[in-house]
Structures are given as structure tokens and as C-alpha cells.
Amino acid sequence: MGEPFAVPVTVRGYELDTQGHLNQAVYIQYAEYARWEFLRAAGISQEELLGTGVGPVALETTIRYQRELRGGDEVTVSCAFEWTGGKTFRIVQEILMLDGTPAAQITALCGLLDLRERRLVADPAQRLRVLASSPALLE
């Protein structure tokens, strides 16, 4: 297996809280950005996915803060899907400083929601692999 999928992000001044570090809600936004970029790299666009009648849902999210981030900090946000074989799967992500120092770890329990039935699809891994032009990225 090669390097984990990751996207670069620079912390912007308007994302800071009153203490001058990255607002807690923005960590979730960075994670979401990396997730959609991961799917796009696998060949699945947001429009295409929603067009098939399913959409990703986060059922539980945990953030472990390890180092504060401040305006101008450059980081990478990784993304790896862990398939459980059921209706849910985990997305594990790390926010790392460019020198490799961990800033945060984000773990989310997710599923694919059938937008018409309003229920989780039975095999989200298979559903995504069928749509992907690069399904190996989803392994």
C-alpha cells in the first residue's frame, strides 16, 4: 500500500476562535473536504453520488486534539475508509503539520443513506466501488 490519501490545507485567519487557534467546528470542515476529495480521486463526484439516490451520512464523529493550529499553519488532512462489512464504515483521518507532527485525529462512523427510503444501504463499500473509476483507492 502506498502513501495514505491526503490533501493540503492552510489555516485561514477567519477560521480562528477567540483564543487565536482553529475553531473546533472547522476541524470537521477540513475532514469533510478531505472526504469529498478522496471520493473525487476515486472517480466519484458529489453530483454523481447524489444522482444515484444515495448520500453519505455521519452517524458519530470523534475528534482527538493533539496540537493547536494557528493562522497560517500548513497541514495535510488524510482520509482512509475502513469497511466493516455491514451498513456502516469508519473514516479515519489525521491532520498533520508538514513536519509530520499530529494536530488532530478524526474518526467518524458513517453510512450511505438511500435518499428515497431514508435507510442505510446494505453494502456501502460495494455501492461506492461500482461508481468509482478508480475503485482500488477504496480498498
Of 17, 73, 114, 123, catalytic:
17
CA distance 23 to 40: 26
Q: Does the annotation count 17 as an active-site position?
A: yes
3-state secondary structure 10-61: ECCHHHECCCCEECHHHHHHHHHHHHHHHHHHCCCCHHHHHHCCEEEEEEEE
% of the chain at pLDDT higher than 70: 99
- Domains by residue range for the chain, with CATH: 5-133 (3.10.129.10)
Tens digit of each residue's pLDDT, the chain (139 residues): 457 899 999 999 999 999 999 999 999 999 999 999 999 999 999 999 999 999 999 999 999 999 999 999 999 999 999 999 999 999 999 999 999 999 999 999 999 999 999 999 999 999 999 999 999 999 8
